[in-house]
Amino acid sequence: MLKGTFPLEKLKALPTPFYYYNIELLKETLNIVKTEAGKYNYQVHYAVKANANPRILSVIAGSGLGADCVSGGEIEASLKAGFPADKIVFAGVGKADWEIETGLDNDISCFNVESAAELRIINEIAVAKGKVAPIALRINPEVDAHTHAKITTGMKENKFGINLGQLSQVLDILLQMSHVRLTGIHFHIGSQITDLSSFQALAIRSNEIQEELEARGIRVENLNFGGGLGIDYYHPNHLPVATFDNYFAVIHRLLKLREGQQVHFEPGRSIVAQCGSLLSKVLYVKEGETKQFVILDAGFTELIRPAMYDAYHRIENLSSDEAVEVYDVVGPICESSDVFGKEVELNRTRRGDLLALRSAGAYGEVMASQYNCRKLPASCFSDTI
Rounded-to-integer distance, Cα 242 and Cα 26, Å: 12
136 binds ligand LLP (CB under 6 A): no
From 16-24, 261-269, 325-333, 347-355, give the range in contact with ligand LLP by CB under 6 A. Answer: 261-269
Smallest gap from residue 323 Cβ to ligand LLP (A) = 33
| Residues forming a β-bridge with 324 | 347
What three-state secondary structure class fits 385?
A: coil
Between 20 and 233, whose beta carbon lies closer to ligand LLP?
A: 233
- The CA-atom distances, in angstroms, between 58 and each of 61, 66, 285, 297, 298 are 5, 11, 39, 29, 27
Footprint of ligand LLP on 295-354 (CB under 6 A): 305, 309
DSSP lists the bridge partners of residue 184 as: 136, 222
Q: Do the beta carbons of residue 11 and residue 20 sit within 8 Å?
A: yes
**Residue closer to ligand LLP, measured from CB, 185 or 362:** 362
Least CB distance from residue 252 to ligand LLP, whole Å?
A: 18
The residue (of 188 and 314) whose beta carbon lies closer to ligand LLP is 188
CB of 320 to ligand LLP, least distance (A): 29
| 281 touches ligand LLP (CB under 6 A) | no
Closest to ligand LLP by CB, 68 vs 338, is 68
Residue 278 Cα to chain centre, angstroms: 17
Q: Give the nearest distance from C-beta 272 to ligand LLP in angstroms.
A: 8
Pick the piece of the chain touching ligand LLP (CB under 6 A) from 24-32, 266-274, 325-333, 335-343: 266-274
Any contact of residue 276 with ligand LLP (CB under 6 A)? Answer: no
CA distance 242 to 209: 29
As measured in angstroms, the least distance from the Cβ of 308 to ligand LLP is 7
Closest CA to 267 of 281, 285, 248: 248
Taking the CB of residue 65, how many other CB atoms lie within 10 A of it?
21
Question: Nearest approach, Cβ of 187 to ligand LLP (angstroms)?
Answer: 9
Q: How far apart are the first and last CA of the chain?
A: 25
Q: Which of residues 174-233 bind ligand LLP (CB under 6 A)?
A: 188, 191-192, 226-229
Backbone phi and psi for residue 100, each to the nearest 5 degrees, phi listed first: -65, -40
What is the CB-side half-sphere exposure of residue 1 using CA atoms within 13 A?
Answer: 20
What are the backbone angles phi and psi of residue 224, rounded to the nearest 5°?
Answer: -115, 120
Residue with the shortest CB distance to ligand LLP: 227
C-alpha radius of gyration, the chain, whole number: 22
User: Could you say which of 26, 30, 37, 47 contacts ligand LLP (CB under 6 A)?
Assistant: 47
Q: Which residues are near ligand LLP by CB under 6 A?
A: 47, 49-50, 68, 91, 151, 188, 191-192, 226-229, 266-270, 305, 309, 362-363
